[in-house]
């Protein structure tokens, strides 16, 4: 798992707590933040770094050291304006990935325009699932078919570049079936054995979860 990355979670409601706890339990460094002092007091024993702060204040963002964090998850339930401001401040601070939980498609579109890299809707994505995806070295969980089998999108390894799917022989070597290629956000499903893997491509595969974990 990619626990060498650092995270911050803004908002410790049910969703934010679930994300933060899964990350912490997996060994990741997490800054957990909420503006409610009672919530923070309750969570101090759960999260090693737990702060009561207003994340819509640029000075607070500086004091928290958010510019040094790889990924910020903003889960400010019912506080759209605060989510917008926190998103803008995080991007201004140089955070590489800002993920924002929101309630509607319209809010999501606005958050994207002010810098959000990813929007999650709590009815579609659980906090635990998001955390596991963040920890999976670029593996994006698309769907679980069973307890053992998943469809995921994976980054291609550097050693795969310039080789064809036939040469890689992932089915035999790793029991992974490539069902599509994401070529700079263009999904290609008519893939052939002589398709060459190029920089920027991602693979959409169906595989046993254990085999996927072995590639991390």
Which residue, of 109, 134, 159, is where some domain finishes? Answer: 134
Q: Residue holding tokens 């795969």?
A: 160
Of 69, 102, 134, the residue at which a domain comes to its end is 134
pLDDT at position 189 is 75
The pTM assigned to this predicted structure is 0.63
Same domain, 13 and 73: yes
Judgement on whether residues 79 and 96 belong to the same structural domain of the protein: yes
Bridge partners of 202, per DSSP, are 155, 182
Q: Which of 98, 107, 49 is nearest to 73 (CA)?
A: 98
Q: Is residue 1 part of a domain?
A: no
Which range scores top for mean pLDDT: 4-8, 14-18, 31-35, 41-45? 31-35
> In terms of domains, do 163 and 65 share one?
no
Please give the full DSSP string across 79-143, using - where no structure is assigned.
-HHHHHHHHHHHHHTT-SEEEEE-SSHHHHHHHHHTT-SEEE-TTTS-HHHHHHHHTSTT-EEEE
Separation of alpha carbons 181 and 140, rounded Å: 13
Is 203 in a helix, a strand, or coil?
Answer: strand
Q: Residue 98: which domain range? A: 6-134
Task: Give, in degrees to the nearest 5, the angle at Cα 144 between 2 and 210.
Answer: 50
The encoded tokens of residue 37 equal: 């002092």
Q: Virtual CA dihedral for 6, 10, 15, 18, nearest 10 degrees?
A: 40
* 197 vs 80: CA distance, rounded Å: 41
11 within some domain: yes
**CATH number assigned to the domain comprising residue 21:** 3.40.50.720
> Do 60 and 160 fall within a single domain?
no
Residue 188: pLDDT band by 50, 70, 90 thresholds? Answer: confident
Q: Which of 94-103, 140-149, 196-205, 207-216: highest mean pLDDT?
A: 94-103
pLDDT tier at 2 (50, 70, 90 boundaries)? very low
- C-alpha to C-alpha distance for 41 and 56, rounded to whole angstroms: 21
Residues in Cβ contact with 31 at an 8 Å cutoff, skipping those fewer than 6 apart:
6, 7, 8, 9, 49, 51, 64, 65, 66, 69
Q: How much is the average pLDDT of 30-38?
A: 96
* DSSP 8-state class, residue 159: G
Q: Same structural domain for residues 151 and 183?
A: yes
Residue where the block lists tokens 């101090």: 44
Question: Cβ contacts of residue 71 below 8 Å, gap of 6+?
Answer: 5, 6, 7, 8, 95, 96, 97, 98, 99, 134
- Whether residue 130 sits in one domain with residue 30: yes
Is residue 19 domain-shared with residue 101, that is, in the same domain? Answer: yes
Instruction: Decide if 44 is inside a domain.
Output: yes
For residues 120 and 169, state if they share a domain: no
Structural domain count of the chain: 2
113 and 33 in one domain?
yes
Same domain, 51 and 82: yes
Q: How confident is the model at residue 205 (pLDDT cuts 50, 70, 90)?
A: confident
Q: Tell me, yes or no, whether 155 and 126 share the same domain.
A: no
**Which CATH number goes with the domain that contains 150?**
3.30.70.1450
In a domain, 114, yes or no: yes
Residue 99 belongs to a domain = yes
Burial of 104 (0-12, 13-18, 19+ CB in 10 A): exposed
Instruction: Summarize pLDDT for 87-132 with one digit per residue, the tens.
Output: 999 999 999 999 999 888 888 888 988 889 888 887 555 666 677 6
Mean pLDDT of the chain: 85
Residue 60 domain-assigned? yes
DSSP secondary structure letter of residue 202:
E
Residues 61 and 116 in one domain: yes
Q: Is 176 domain-assigned?
A: yes
Using the 3D structure, point to which of 134, 164, 182 is the last residue of a domain: 134
């Amino acid at each position: 798992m990619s626990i060498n990355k650092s995270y911050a979670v803004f908002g410790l409601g049910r969703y934010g707590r679930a994300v933060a706890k899964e990350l912490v339990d997996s060994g990741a460094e997490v800054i957990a933040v909420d503006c409610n002092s009672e919530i923070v007091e309750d969570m101090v024993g759960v999260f090693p770094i737990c702060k009561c702060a207003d994340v819509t204040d640029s000075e607070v963002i500086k004091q928290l050291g958010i510019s040094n964090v790889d990924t910020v998850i903003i889960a400010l339930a019912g506080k759209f304006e605060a989510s917008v401001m926190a998103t803008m401040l995080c991007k201004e601070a140089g955070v590489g990935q800002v993920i924002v939980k929101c309630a509607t498609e319209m809010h999501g579109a606005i958050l994207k325009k002010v810098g959000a890299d990813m929007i999650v809707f709590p009815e579609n994505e659980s906090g635990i699932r998001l955390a596991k995806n963040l920890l999976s070295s670029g593996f994006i969980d698309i769907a679980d078919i069973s307890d053992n089998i998943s469809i995921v999108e994976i980054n291609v390894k550097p050693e795969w570049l310039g080789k064809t799917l036939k040469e890689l022989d992932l089915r035999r070597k790793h029991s992974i079936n490539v069902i599509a290629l994401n070529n700079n956000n263009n999904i290609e499903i008519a893939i052939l054995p002589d398709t060459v893997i190029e920089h920027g491509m991602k693979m959409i595969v169906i595989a046993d979860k254990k085999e996927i974990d072995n590639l991390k």
